[in-house]
Amino acid sequence: MAEHSIVEASELADGDHLVVELEGREIGVFNIDGDYYAHTNWCAHQSGPVCEGQTAGFLDAEFNRESLETDIEWTREDEIIACPWHGWEFDLVTGECHSKPGVQLISHDVFVEDGEIVVSV
């Protein structure tokens, strides 16, 4: 496993992401509130470019059976990505697929060193 400097951390703003090529693989690198995540740009469904999808949040709903009221809250902005080919959604923090339990993104270690984002591949 090798470590690669990608870009200065200041160049990838909160909520932004980019796709880079490392060792013949495309890797998506994401800044979510100052925390960085990296995943191979490959979707487990039909090999689509998942890291080129749109990021969004999560609609969290809780239903109260006694009052028959539903409490809805938009949470986790930019932590969810939808594959641009068929819309499978993945959690960028854990790598888990929302609709297919047990299906994961291929994740990589990522950290900031001397102001540079570094990804291990």
Least Å distance, CB 59 to ligand FES, is 19
4: closest CA among 109, 94, 105? 109
Shorter beta-carbon distance to ligand FES: residue 25 or 86: 86
Q: Which residues would be at the binding site for ligand FES (CB under 6 A)?
A: 43, 45-46, 48, 50, 83, 85-88
Three-class secondary structure of residue 52 per DSSP? helix
Least Å distance, CB 54 to ligand FES, is 13
Least Å distance, CB 97 to ligand FES, is 9
Shorter beta-carbon distance to ligand FES: residue 37 or 88: 88
Residue closest to ligand FES, measured at CB:
48
Chain centroid to Cα 8, Å, comes to 19
- Reported as half-sphere exposure (CB side, CA atoms, 13 A), residue 75 has a value of 8
Shorter beta-carbon distance to ligand FES: residue 36 or 88: 88
24: left (phi over 0), alpha (psi -120 to 50) or beta: left
Question: Which tokens in the block code for residue 90?
Answer: 């993945």
Q: How are beta strands 110-113 and 107-108 bridged, if at all?
A: unpaired
Least Å distance, CB 46 to ligand FES, is 4
